[in-house]
Structure 1
Amino acid sequence: MLDENGPEPATPHADPRGNPLLRTQFVIPARPATFLRRERLDEHLDEALLTPLTVVDGAAGAGKTLLVADWAAARDRRVAWLTARLAGKGCGTFWAYLLQALRLADVTLSGDIGTPAEPGHVDDALLTRLAGELSARDAPVVVAIDDYDQATDPEIADQLDFVLQQAGRGMRLILVTRTEPLLPLHRYRAADAITEIKNAELAFTPREAADLLTLHGLRLPDDDIGALVNRTQGWAAGLRLCALAARGEGDPRTYLKGFEADRTTIADYLLAEVLKRQPPQTQDLLLRLSILERFSPELADALTGRTDAGLILTGLHRENAFVEYLGHGWFRFHPLFAEILRAHLRVCRPRLEPELHRRAAHWLRRSGSLDETLGHAAAADDWESAADALVDDLAIGEIFTGLRTDALSELFSRMGPEPTTPATDLVRAARHLAQCDVERGLGRLKRAERALTRQSGSSEDDGPGLAAARLSCALLEVTAARLTGSPGRAEAAARTAERLSSEVPGRRLEEHPELMALLVTHLGSARLWAGRFQDARAALTTVADSGRTAPTAHLREECLGHLALIDYLNGWAARAERKASAVAAAAGRCGPPAAPGPGLASLVLAAVAVDRNELDRAEAHLDAAADARHPLPDPLARAVHALVTGRVLLARGDTRAALEAADRAAGADVTSPWAAAHTTAVAAAAHLADGRPEMAVKLLAEEPEGEPVCLVGAVRAELAVGRTGAAIELLERVRPQGHAGPAITVRTALARAQVAGEVGDVATQRRLVARALEEARRERLRSPFLEAGPWLRALLRTVPLRGLAEGWLVPGPPSPGHPEPVQERPPLPVVQELSGRERDVLRRLAEMMSTEEIAADLYVSVNTVKTHIKSAYRKLAVNRRQDAVRRARELGLL
C-alpha cells in the first residue's frame, strides 16, 4: 500500500501497552472522486501556517476532515497526520502515536526524547525535550490531529498546550474536532494566535452545492438547489448523501423535492454518528425535544420531568451535535436531524408524541408564543386548550384579519364537533362569520353566550379569562350585526365591548390591535348602512388614521373604502375616487384582497365611472369587486353592487335587467334609507325610459322625503306626465345639505333648469345649465346630462353653453389643418371616453399601420387589437378606419 505522500512507512513502534501502532492512524484520508475543493476554505486554512494553533470545529459530516486532508496533501512539505480515535486512550498512548506521526513526516527526533512507558502517563522531561527540538527547527512542522474530540483526557490538552507554547515557531498544530478543544483558546484569541474554521463556515453555499451536484452528474434549477441547501443547511454529508441517492433515480429533481430523510442513508448516518453516541438519558431528551421547532432548558425539563436539560443542551451545542443555539436561552435542532428524530420517536415510542405535544402546549401557554401553543395543542388533538388559548389571548380577531388569518383558519378547520366549550363555540362562530355563514355563526355564538352567562354567576370563574371571552362575544355580535344589516345590535354590542375592554389586561389589547379595530370598523359600517354618515365617518376615520401596522393594514383599507362610499353618496366623486384608488393600489401591493374593503372600493370606482359615463371602465371595476375574497359580504356591499349594476344596465339601454338588478339590493334586517332611495331611483328611471312615467311617480312617492336623488327623479317623472305644478312643488322640497357635492348639486340644477324651461323662463334655464356644466366639468360628470333627457341637447348647441361643454361632454372644435366641412351636419353625440389602450390603437390606425403591425408594436395579440378597435368604433359611432380617425381628430383625441 502506498501513502499519498510517499512510500509505505517502516514498521511502526509499539504503544506503552506493547501493542503495535496502527498504521491507518497516520494515513491522510483519501478524497472521493466527487470531492469538491472549495477555495474560500483553502485560503482560510492557509492561515494555519501563520498561527501556532488552528481549530477546524464542526459537526459530524460537516466536511472538516476531507477539507484538512485535501489541504495537507497539497503541501510541499509532509504534514504529520494523526487520527486520534485510538490515540486518545490516555496521555502516554497519545504521545506515543504523536511521536510516530512526526517521524513518519520526516521529522528527525533524537533518541534523548524517549518514549512513554505507561498508557496513562508521560514524563515532563519527554515533553520538554520534544518542545526544545521542535523550537530549534528552521521550518515549522505542521501537525494535523483528526478526531481530536476522542482525546478526552484533560492532561492531553494541558501537555499539548505546553509543547505548542514552548515549540514557538517550530510547530503549527491543526485540530480537527467535533467539539471545542479544552485548550485555553481565550489566550490564543487574545494573542491573535489562532485560526478558526467553525461549523457555519463549513456549510456549503448554494453555488458550492450546485458544483457538488454537478460532480455527481446532477444539474438542477437554482430554486431547487436553494431549497435543498435550506433543508440541509449546507451540511456536507447531507448534500452528498442526497446526491448519491438522487443519482440512482429516474427523476432526480422530483426525488430531491420530496425525499423522506428518515428513509435514507442520512437517517442511518445521523442515528449512528450522533444519537447512538449519546448516553441513554441524552437520547431520551433528544427524542422528546424532536417535536419542538425550538426549545429552552425549562421547556425541555417540562417534557422530560428532569432538571438537567440546560447542562445537556449546552454540552450538545458545544459538541456540534446538531443542536444550534438561537440566543436568549433558546435552542433548535438541525432540520434534518429533527426530522429523523421525530420519525425515530414514532417508531420507538408511538404513544408518547401526543402527550409531549400536550405538555408543550400547556407550558407554552404560560411562557411561550401563541402560535407554538396552538400548534402543539392541535397536534395533541387538544382543541379545548387551543381554543382557550386563542380566546384568552384576545386573538380571535386574527381569524378575520392579519398575517395569520389563513393559518388559523386551516388549523381550526381540523377541529371536530367536540368539545363544545364556550371557547370552542366562539372559535367555530368566528370561522363561520369569517366565511359569511351568518346562520351557523350566530347559532354557535348564542350557545357560547349562554354558557358564559352561566359561568358569570360563579365568582371563581370571574376574571380576565371570562372578560376576554365576553369581549370576543361582543366582537362577533358586531360582526353578525353588520352582516345582517342590524345597526341597533351593532351599537349595543359596541357599548358592551367598551365596558369589557377595561376588564382585560391592557397589554393584551395592545398586542392585538386588530380586535378593537375590527369592532370599530364593523360599527362604522353598520352606522353607514343606517344612513348616519357623520357618526360612521367618525368611527371609520379612527381606524383609517391608526397607522399601517400589519394586523390592521387590511382594516385600514376597508375603512377607506367605506369613507370613499360616504364621499360618493354625498356627491363628491373625485374625493371618493382618490380614496378608493388608494385602497385598490394597496390591495395590489399586499396580494389577494381581504374582505370586504377592496371589493367595496372597486364598487365605488365603478359608481364614479358610471357618473362619468365610462361604462366599460365601470364594468371592469364591477368584475374586480367580484374577484375580491367575499366581495359582497354584507347588505351594504350587495346594495352598492346592485345599484351600480342597475345604473350600468340602464345606461346601456337594458331597462328590464336594470329593474332586476335594483331588486337584488334588498335583504337586511333593517332597511337602509339611502340604499332604498337609490334603488327606487334606478327603478323609476327604468320605468321612465320605458315610457311608464306614472309607475315612476308612484314608486318615488313611496320614498321618505328629503332624499335628493328621489326628489330629482320625481321632478322628471312629474314633468313626463305633464304635471308641471307638482314638479315645482317637489323642487321646493329639494334642499341639498351644505356638504352636498357636485354629483348632487348638478342633478338638482338640471332638474330646476328643466322646470324653468317648461314655464318659459329661458334665461333661468340657461343660467342653471351653465352652472351645472361648470360644476360637472371639474369632475367630468357626464351621466347627469345624459339622464336629463332630450331637452338638453338643443341648449348644448347654443353659445355660450357649447363652449362650456366642448371637449369633455360634446366634441370640441376641429383640429388645425382639418377644417370642418361647409355642409351642415347634425350635432355630434356625446361619446364615452376612450381608454388609454384604445387611444394607442387609434394613433396607430392614423399612421396606417396594419392590425398585425399594431399588435407587434404594442406587444399584444391580434385579437386584442381587434377588440380595442371594435370598442373604439362603437364609442365613436363609426364603422370604418377612415371615419374613426376623422372623428378622433374632430374630438381632439389625436
Structure 2
Amino acid sequence: MTTRPVAPSPAPVRLPHSASARFRAPAHVHNVIERRRLLDDLRAQDPGRLMVVHAPAGYGKTTLAVQWLSELQARGTTVAWLGLHRDDNDPHWFLTHLVDAVRQVLPAATESIDDLVDLLEQNAEDTRSYTLSALLDLIAEHDDGFVLAFDDWHLVDDDTVHRALLHLLDFAPPNLSIVLTSRRRPRLPLSRLRVRRQLTEIDADALRFDLDEAREFLVELNGLSLGNDDVARLSSGTDGWVAALQLVSLSLRDSADPDELIKGFSGRHHSIGEYLAENVLDSLPAWILDFLLATSVCDRLCGGLAGVLAGRTDGQAVLEELESRNLFLRPLDNEREWFRYHHLFVDHLRRRLDRDHPGRAETLHDRASRWFADHDLVPAAVTHALAGGDVRRATDLVEANAMAMVEHSRMTSLLGLLGRLPATAADDRPGLLMAVAWANCLLQRSEAAQSSLDRLRPALRRDESYEEMCSEADVAQACIDIYGDRTDRAEELVRRSLDRSGSYRPWVVGVAANIQSFCDIHAMRFVRARECQRWAQPIHARTTGPFAAVYGRCFAGIAALSQLDTVGAEEHLRGAVLLARESAGRRSHAAQLAGALLGELHHLRGQLDEAERLLEACSELGAESGVVDFMIAGYALLARIKAGRGAAEDAATLLTEGSRVADRLGLPRLHSALGAERISQLLARGRVREARRVAQDLPDGSSAPGGIGTRIDQLRSASLAAVYSAEQDHDRAVVLLEDLIRETRGHGQARTTLELSVQLAGAQERAARSMAAERTLSAVLSRALRAGVPQVVRDGGPQVRAVLDRLVTRARAGTAPESLPSADELAGVFSAGSPGAGRPVVALTGREAEILQMLDVGHSNQQLASALGVTVNTVKWYLKSIYGKLGAGNRTQAVSVARRTGLLG
C-alpha cells in the first residue's frame, strides 16, 4: 500500500517565522542622516489617528518612519511593525500577520492572540470583524500609547484588506495611532481625517533633501570633498531624490575623475536611477556583482539563504560586507541576521539579472524554494516555486502539507495556499483534491467539497493506492452527507474503511468511526455509538491532529446525554474541549464545536452562566458549523437561555439567524428544533395564534429518512401538543404526548422521554388533572435528580412548578410516594441565583457608552449595526463586553444596572 506524504507536525501550518523580520522595524542604518527638519515638524503637532508617508521608491519613507517611531518608543510608546508582502493582499494572511505583529509587542496577551489566530481559520467575514475588534480591545487595555506601523502599504490592493484598515481607523481606542508608508497615496478617507485633525501626511515634496540636507549627506556623512556649487548642482540634478544622492555618493567614491562626473551629470538622463545604478554596479568587483544579482530574487535574506543562492559558504560575511559598503542593504533585526535590499536597488538588480543572464532567475527561485521548504516555510517555498515558473513543484509542496493542515484545523490556510496556484493545478492530483474536499467540508462548504470529490474520482490512478483512495473518497462523501444531516447511505460509504482499519490511514478510519457513531446516534443505537468510539480511541490517538479525536469525543458525549449519563457525557465533552484547546487553540473550529455541547450539558445541570458563556463563544461568530447537533445548541439552546434571562430580542435574533442557516443549507432538523423553541417562547408570552402558525410550518419526517426523520416528527408532534394544550384542547395534547413517550421509551431515548414526561405533567396540570400530573412528574423526578439535570424540570414552566410545589408539601407531610426524593431535594429544583449578583461595575469605553445610550432608547442589534457601520456580530461582541463589565445577562439588565450606577441618566 502507498500512502501520500504527510507533514509529521503542524510546523508548516503556521506562518513563516523566519519572516519574523517583517514584524520588526529595520534596524539603525549608519549611512543615513537624521531627518531633523521633518522630525521637528512631527514633534510640534499631535500625532493624531493616522500618519501617512507616501512617495515613489527611494525617497526615504521607511527611514523617516523608523526615526519617528524610535523617538516615540523612547517616550514609552509601544510600536507593532508589519512589513507588508504581496501575500498580504489576501485578507486571511493580512489579518494573521497583523495579529502576529501585535503578539511581538504584547507578550502578556499571547494566549488571547493565539485564540484570534485560530479564529481566523474559520474564514468568515464576521470572524474578521470580531478579530479586529478583539485586537483593538487588547490595545485599548494597554497602559501606554500604541502604534500600528504598516510598511509598503502600496503592495495591498484587496478591498477587504482596505476595509480592515478602515475598521482599525474608525474604532481605534484613544491610545492607538497608525503609521503607513506607501509608494502611492492610499485609498483612505484622508480628507475626513484631516478635517478632524487626525491626519499627518508627508509626501515626496516634503521628503526631498533640501540643500542643507544634501550637503550633510554628501560631505559630512559620506566624506566627499565637494564645494557648495558641486553640492548645489547634484542636489538640483537629483531634485533632492534621496536614493539618487546615495548612488551619486557611491559613484563619486569610486570615480577616477569626480569633477568630470559632476560636470557631466544632469537630470536629463532617461532615468537618473538607472544611470547611477549602472555606474555603481559597473565599478564593483565581479564577485560582489554576481552575489548581488543572485540574491536579488528574495525579498528577505539571511546568511544561509544568500549562500545557497550565490553558491558560497560565507553568505553571512558577504551580507555584512555589502552593508559596510552602503550597497542599499538594510538589516531587519538588531542581530543582523535578516536583511533586505532597498526596493529601488533590488528592482534594478532584477532587471539586470534578466537582461544579462536570461533564465538564471528561474534557477535561483528554485534554490530559494528548496531552502524555504527545507526550513518548513511552506508559503515562501510555494511563492518562489511559482515565481520560477515551476507550478508542479509549488503544487507538490501544497499537496505534501495539505492533510496535516486539515488535521490541525488549518483549513483556511490550506485553501489560501491553493488559491496561489493556477485554477487547474489540482485537477490531476487526487491527494490534493481529497484534502481540499476535506477542508471545504469541514468549513461547511458542501458545494465546493462535492466539486472536489467529483473532480477527484476521474483523476484516481489504478495503482496500489487506488482502493484506499476510493475508500477515503467514500468517507469524505459520507462526511458531506452527515454535515447535510443525511444518513441514508453514510454507513455503507464508511464500511470498507472500518473493515480495513489496520491498513488505512488513521485519519480516514477515525473519521469513518465518527460517521458511524453519528449514524448510530440518529438510529437510536446509543450503546453502539459509544462502543464505536471506545474502539476508535487508539486510532484517534494515531492521527496527526486533534480534529477526528475531538469529533469522536463529541459524538460519544451526545450518545451519553441521550441516555442521561451525564457523568459519562462530561468526561467525553470536557475531554474534547481540552484536547481541542491544547492542540488547535481555544478559538479553533474544533474547540468551539466541543464547547457548544459542553454548554448544553451545563444547561441541563442548571449552570446557566457557564452554559451561556460556552454557547456564546460558538454562536457570536456564527454557529453554522459542524453537524446539526452543534447548531441546535448554538442557536436554539442559547436562544432559550437568553429568553429565560429576559433578553427576548436577543433570543429572537438567534432563532432568526438559525432559520436562515437552516434554509440556506437545507437542514429540516435544525428548522424543526428552532421552530420548537420559537413556539415554546411564544406560548410563554401568551401568543398562541402565532405559535400555531409556526407549528403549521414545521417540516415532517418525510423530508429526511431514517432516525433523523423520526426526530423531526418527534419535534413536530411535541410542538403541536404544546399548542393544543395552550388552546385548551387537552385530550388531544395529552394523547399525543403519551404516544410520543411510549415511542421514545421504546427507542431508548432516555433524555427525550424525560423532557416529554415533564411536558406531559404540565399539560395535565393545565387540564386540571392534578393527580395525573403528580403521578407523571413523580415517576421521573428521581431520574432527573439522579442524573443531575434539574433544568429539564425547570423548563416545564409554571404548571410544572405548581405540581412540584404540591409534591414538596406532601413530602414534608409524609404523604408523598416513598420513591420521591426528599422534600429539600425537591424544593431545590427551582432554586437559582440572579445573574450578575455582586458583580463590580467597571468603566466603559467611549464606543460602549455610545451603544449603551442606544440600548436605552430601544435600538435593535440591526439598528445598532447600521448606525455604527459594523456587522451584527461585531455589535454582539460589544454587547458581550458591556454585559460582562456591568454583570448583566441581557440588554434590559444592562440598562437597569447602568441607571442604578449613574452610567445612564
Q: Taking structure 2 as the reference length, what is the TM-score of the superposition?
A: 0.47
TM-score (structure 1 length as normaliser): 0.48
Higher relative contact order (Cα pairs below 8 Å, separated by 6+ residues)? 2
Greater Cα radius of gyration, structure 1 or 2: 1
